[in-house]
Amino acid sequence: MNKPGTPNRKDAGLVAAAKVFAKAFSDSAAAQTPPTGFAKGSGMSLGAAGVVEITDDVAETMAVLRARAMKILRSKAGHERAMDQILFKAAHQSVLEGKSVDAMATVLIDAVFDQSLVTYEYVAPNRLFRFNGGTKSIQIGNVRATLTSELQTERQTAYPKGNVTLIPGDEFSMTLHAGTASITLYGICWVVSVDAIAENV
């Protein structure tokens, strides 16, 4: 069972769409049609499986799969072009590995969800807030106002081998040294968490 708010990878419509696209892509790859033999209006996909004709069937089934995935992700994370690239790459690799349609469908879904649901944090100085009484952080939705020192402690716990250090200060500055970075931020900062494909951040 999925946790509340967790996108459902087992959604019946999603699985069905993934299988239909997997079959269409596999059939097109198996046909090994040279570009000179492509139907008028067809595109091509280059990847691990070679040159694959993007037939109407491949394009249409991919559009259905993409739309379903974007609806389930419930955000603009599913940038169409980026998602298409993820799907094509996973499809090519599945064909190269000789996966069945069902196995390929699972790979496609996992690729989209794993690469679409990456959480990025945007950090910026916050000169609007002042904390009293031991308050260290206030959060509303995916936006948080927090002490820069508190954010550094959290990051150090989450990424003990991280190469970025946040330092509370009055002015912004950044020092780079031997693959590490020390960033001085105002004592309170904004932290905005976004689940997205990298292209959209």
Instruction: Please report the pLDDT score of residue 114 as a whole number.
Output: 85
Task: State the Cα–Cα distance between residues 187 and 201, nearest whole angstrom.
Answer: 25
Q: For 149-157, which contacts have Cβ atoms below 8 Å and span 24 or more sequence positions?
A: 149/187, 151/123, 151/189, 151/191
Nearest-Å Rg of the Cα atoms of the chain is: 22
Q: Please report the pLDDT score of residue 159 as a whole number.
A: 84
Residue ranges of the chain with pLDDT lower than 70?
1-6, 75-78, 117-118, 195-201
* pLDDT for position 146: 93
> Which pLDDT score, from 0 to 100, does residue 83 have?
86
> Which pLDDT tens digit goes with each residue over 20-67?
999 999 999 999 998 889 998 899 999 999 999 999 999 999 999 999
pTM over 0.85: no
